[in-house]
Amino acid sequence: MVGYKGKTAGNLRQYIRNKPDKWGFKLFSRASEDGFVHDMVLYQGKTTLQSHGVTMTSAEEAMGVTSQIVAALVSTMNLSSTTVVFADNYFTSLELVRYLQGKGCRYTGTARDNRIGKPPLKSVKDMEKKSVPRGSIDYVTSDDGILAVRWKDNKVVTMLSTDLGVEPVTTCQRYSNETKKKDDVPCPEVIKSYNANMGGIDKSDMLIHLYRTPMKSKRWYMRLFAYVIDICLTNAWLLYRRDCQALNETGMSLKDFRIEVFYAARCRNPTVHRPLLRTSVTSAVPSSSADIPPAVRGHRSHTPAASVRFDTTLFHVPMYVTRQTCKFCSKKGHIMRSNFLCRVCKVHLCLNGERNCFLQYHERSA
């Protein structure tokens, strides 16, 4: 959900009671297990799939609405035959599993009881009885290789899969109210695979909500535009993290990555930017006083990263610029101002006969 409470979006604005953002635009997305979003569909009522630009076949048009959305998202994958699709019970149905199986795409997902046909499984009521212990498994496989399994956890879980089977049955830890500790519960392999790979959408949503692009406007599409910016930045950071892991290096956090992108886009000279990691002196030093972040009344002043502030290899020298508040010794009710700015940290610090905040600010003990 892309949060939006305005009333100018017409029928595009939806209300979902159980979502953190109850009012807004509903998106159906396809993401990797690490949160990288590959494709998405904006819900627009009857014209949802028409606006996505995917031509639906007669077999796809005969399916349900949720199955059509999955088919549209899968159709944009390059290697669907070597990929496993994981989805929750909102999308899973027997017709969808058979359709993807015909396309050579494997599928695993939780399912609602009225969407799996009538396999010879124990009913949900029978599985919920206290006489049935936690971890009980009941499954059946069709002639075309579709697995239907019911597993009793805190609640009864029903799944359809064409990827993995029940064996090998391992264990997982669950808290028991009787013993007041975590006990080992039998768990089928398909459940473990689902829990390990399902959650890319939730992770992407979590990363986007950490630092959102502020954009207030009466035009409803600007909220979607800000969301697209956040998606692009999050995807870029995930690719950056993949490269860092491949090179066995420690990368920037998502917050520092977004700030770095902002400063690179804001600066007139793209080769000069504010450093967040250990970089060369030429890229870390501003070329003129035009790179000094302006003071905004009511806003928190700029704070450099610790890796920059205490890096003795960088050329920390004072610059005589416009007078502003000292970053080190100023407190509420006792404001000290200085004309001296650190060339690397870009913060104002006192440097006179009475106070040497410049030296104290760059010492670890400070």
pLDDT band at 269 (very low <50, low <70, confident <90, very high): low
Would the pLDDT of 22 be above 70? yes
Cβ contact 224:230 at 8 Å: no
- Entry pTM: 0.67
Give burial (CB, 10 Å; 0-12/13-18/19+) of 168: exposed
The pLDDT value given to residue 8: 87
DSSP letter string, 229-247: HHHHHHHHHHHHHHHHHHT
Using pLDDT thresholds of 50, 70 and 90, give the confidence band for residue 267: low
Cis peptide before 168 (omega within 30 of 0): yes
Phi and psi of 102, rounded to 5°? -65, -25
Q: Residue 348 corresponds to which tokens in the numbers above? A: 């104002």
- Which H helix or E strand runs over 99? helix 94-102
Confidence of residue 279 (pLDDT cuts 50, 70, 90): very low
**Model pLDDT, residue 60:** 84
Closest alpha carbon to 91 in 113, 68, 123, 114:
68
Q: What percent of the chain shows pLDDT beyond 70?
A: 90
Q: Mean pLDDT of all residues in the chain?
A: 85
* Residue 87: exposure state from Cβ atoms within 10 A (0-12, 13-18, ≥19): buried
Question: Using CA atoms, how far apart are residues 55 and 20, in angstroms rounded to an integer?
Answer: 33
What pLDDT, in 10s, does the model give residues 23-51? 999 999 999 999 999 999 999 888 888 77
pLDDT band at 266 (very low <50, low <70, confident <90, very high): confident
> CA-based Rg of the chain, rounded to a whole angstrom?
28
Higher pLDDT pick, 52 / 204: 204
